[in-house]
Structures are given as structure tokens and as C-alpha cells.
């Protein structure tokens, strides 16, 4: 069973009337296996973020379905969906989204605290997660005392702290210079290789996409290319 499957996934945004509705994602059928590192590329407006948000249960589809570990996300009520988002999915955003008034350690521990874990257990898990991204030496710093690359590594530690089934990242290197971008990509590669973590990453950057084991290209809301389904010609 794939860890994530989409069947005829579709999203239409109805803005102010039928004539202005936008089909952002249409007929997307994807199987992602545990331990895959998948990059989603495509032009601006091609539906990458909308797709990622549906995969993560942030946006509800207009049609089709998303199965995460065999569970149809549409079958879940808001509370159960929120619990899956907290426990089984790790999100990484372009702008890190660390809370400025918390230390890095507190930021990383936050998903566990919000999920009702006791402070000592959350703390220990957060330290371990920070160590995994090479940021344990900055645990007591606040985000504004860290570089962009360090903040993003902290955000990845936060995404991993719950041991999610899958990590979803939307332009995780979009705000970084090339050296920091390479570091973040290397980190994601290592997580996939060493922890058999599953990562789906949206990126504009061809160099970043090339680091993934599989590349899916979106065009006008559809999958225009999937390196996993390109047939190798037999001669
Ligand atoms: N909330 C919304 N309401 C209406 N239209 C939307 C909404 N969100 C996205 N869209 C439209 O859906 C299409 C896909 O948007 P999406 O954000 O998924 O693109 P993207 O591939 O992530 O682009 P970018 O590379 O610029 O981030 C675009 O035409 C966009 O204008
Ligand atoms: Mg986007």
C-alpha cells in the first residue's frame, strides 16, 4: 500500500461566480511510497501549493480523494483531520513560521505540547529532533538570532518532532541563498535515506528538484510529467 495516494483529485475555487471559478488542480492520480523523496515542480499558478495543501489535509478537495496510510481524509471530521495533521504530517514552509517569542527548543517542542504531551517528554523529543538537523547548539536562541538557513533547519526539526508519516514542504529553499539551500536539501535527502522518511517538496528550482528521487511536473493543474511513470524504451 502506498503511504499516500490521490484518486482523481480536484480543486475548484469559486470566487464570485461560476464564470470566475478557477480549476487549480484537476484529475491528479499519484501514488507515493514510503521512503520516497518527491519534488513537485511547475510554473507559478500551476497548482503546486493547492495540491500540497490537499495532500496535507489543509484544504478539502472539490473532487476525488486523498488516502494517507490508507485513510480517506474526506471521511474524517474536522477534529480527527486536525489530529492527523498534527501527528502524521510535518509541514515546512518557505517562511519558516517559527514563533518569534519562543526559543528554538520551545518552537520545536510546540507540536507535542499542543498534542497534550508532558513538558519533559516534549523537551526531550525536541532536543533529539534539533540534534538530527544539527541545530542542538542553538536550542535556547530565539528565531531572530538565527540565520535563514538555521531557521529553516529548525522548522524541519519542528516538522519531524512528531515522527510524522510524511513531510510536506512548500518551497523550503525559496528564501535561502544557494549555500543554505544546498544544506537544507542535503538534510532532506539524509532524512529520506537514514530514517526512511517520506518527503514531498514543492520547488521552482531545478537544482533543488534534481536532488529528489522522483520529479512530478504540474501544468494547468494536471500532472504533465512524472519521472516514476516514464517508460524506459526497450530496444
Ligand atoms: N484561495 C484561492 N481562491 C481562488 N483561487 C485560488 C486560491 N488559491 C489558489 N488559487 C488559484 O489556483 C491556481 C493554482 O494556485 P497555486 O497556489 O496552487 O499555484 P502554485 O503552483 O503553488 O504557484 P506558485 O509557484 O506561484 O506558488 C492559481 O491560478 C491561483 O490563482
Ligand atoms: Mg505555491
CA–CA separation, 9 and 26 (whole Å): 6
Our separate counts of H helices and E strands in the chain read 7, 10
**So what's the architecture of 4-98+157-227 in CATH?**
3-Layer(aba) Sandwich (3.40)
> What are 180's three cell numbers?
543554505
Q: Quickly list DSSP for 189-213.
A: HHHHHHH--EEEEE-S-HHHHTTSS
Q: Quick one: which atom of ligand 1 is closest to the CA of 11?
A: 12
Mean pLDDT, rounded, for 87-93: 93
Task: Place 76 in a pLDDT band, splitting at 50, 70 and 90.
Answer: very high
Does the Cβ of 47 fall within 6 Å of ligand 1? yes
Q: Model pTM?
A: 0.93
CA–CA separation, 202 and 212 (whole Å): 11
> What are 27's three cell numbers?
484529475
Mean pLDDT, rounded, for 31-49: 96
Does the Cβ of 49 fall within 6 Å of ligand 1? yes
For residue 49, what are the CA distances in angstroms to 52, 215, 232? 5, 15, 30
pLDDT, greater one: 116 or 234: 116
In the numeric block, the cell 522518511 is attached to: 197
Q: Could you say which ligand is closest to the alpha carbon of residue 218?
A: 1
CA-nearest of 215, 209, 206 to 185 is 209
Phi, psi of 202 (to 5 degrees): -85, 135
Query: pLDDT tens across 133-174, in order?
Result: 999 999 999 999 999 999 999 999 999 999 999 999 999 999
Q: Ligand 1 pocket: which of 49, 56, 170 to mutate (most atoms <8 Å of CB)? A: 49
Going edge to edge, which strands form the sheet with 63-68?
22-32, 4-13, 63-68, 71-72
Average pLDDT over the chain, rounded to whole? 93
Angle between helices 178-195 and 148-160 (to 10 degrees): 20
Does the Cβ of 14 fall within 6 Å of ligand 1? no
In the numeric block, the cell 536532488 is attached to: 211
Query: pLDDT tens across 2-34, in order?
Result: 999 999 999 999 877 667 889 999 999 999 999
Q: What is the DSSP letter of 101?
A: T
Diameter of the chain measured on Cα atoms: 62
Ligand 2 centroid from CA 204, angstroms? 9
Query: pLDDT tens across 185-198, in order?
Result: 999 999 999 888 99
Ligand 2 centroid from CA 136, angstroms? 30
Ligand 2 centroid from CA 203, angstroms? 9
CA–CA separation, 226 and 49 (whole Å): 17
Q: Ligand 1 pocket: which of 24, 55, 61, 204 to mutate (most atoms <8 Å of CB)? A: 24
Percent of the chain with pLDDT over 90: 84
Residues in the chain: 235
Does the Cβ of 13 fall within 6 Å of ligand 1? yes
Does the Cβ of 48 fall within 6 Å of ligand 1? yes
CA–CA separation, 84 and 129 (whole Å): 20
Mean pLDDT, rounded, for 91-105: 94
Does the Cβ of 16 fall within 6 Å of ligand 1? no
Task: Place 96 in a pLDDT band, splitting at 50, 70 and 90.
Answer: confident
Percent of the chain with pLDDT over 70: 97
Amino acid at each position: 500500500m502506498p503511504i499516500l495516494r490521490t484518486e482523481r483529485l480536484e480543486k475548484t475555487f469559486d470566487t464570485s461566480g461560476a464564470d470566475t471559478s478557477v480549476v487549480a488542480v484537476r484529475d491528479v492520480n499519484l501514488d507515493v511510497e514510503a521512503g520516497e523523496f518527491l519534488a513537485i515542480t511547475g510554473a507559478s499558478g500551476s497548482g503546486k501549493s493547492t495540491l500540497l495543501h490537499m495532500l496535507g489535509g489543509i484544504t478539502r478537495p472539490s473532487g476525488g480523494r486523498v488516502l494517507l496510510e490508507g485513510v480517506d481524509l474526506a471521511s474524517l471530521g474536522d477534529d480527527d483531520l486536525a489530529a492527523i495533521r498534527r501527528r502524521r504530517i510535518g509541514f515546512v514552509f518557505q517562511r519558516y513560521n517559527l514563533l518569534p517569542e519562543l526559543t528554538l527548543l520551545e518552537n520545536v517542542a510546540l507540536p507535542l505540547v499542543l498534542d497534550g504531551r508532558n513538558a519533559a517528554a516534549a523537551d526531550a523529543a525536541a532536543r533529539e529532533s534539533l540534534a538530527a538537523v544539527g541545530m542542538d547548539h542553538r536550542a535556547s536562541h530565539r528565531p531572530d538570532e538565527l540565520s535563514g538557513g538555521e531557521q529553516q533547519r529548525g522548522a524541519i526539526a519542528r516538522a519531524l518532532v512528531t515522527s510524522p508519516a510524511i513531510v510536506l514542504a512548500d518551497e523550503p529553499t525559496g528564501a535561502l541563498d544557494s549555500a543554505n539551500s544546498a544544506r537544507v536539501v542535503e538534510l532532506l535527502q539524509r532524512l529520506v535515506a537514514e530514517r526512511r522518511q517520506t518527503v514531498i517538496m514543492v520547488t521552482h528550482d531545478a537544482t533543488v528538484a534534481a536532488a529528489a528521487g522522483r520529479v512530478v511536473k504540474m501544468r494547468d493543474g494536471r500532472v504533465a510529467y512524472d519521472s516514476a511513470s516514464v517508460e524506459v524504451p526497450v530496444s
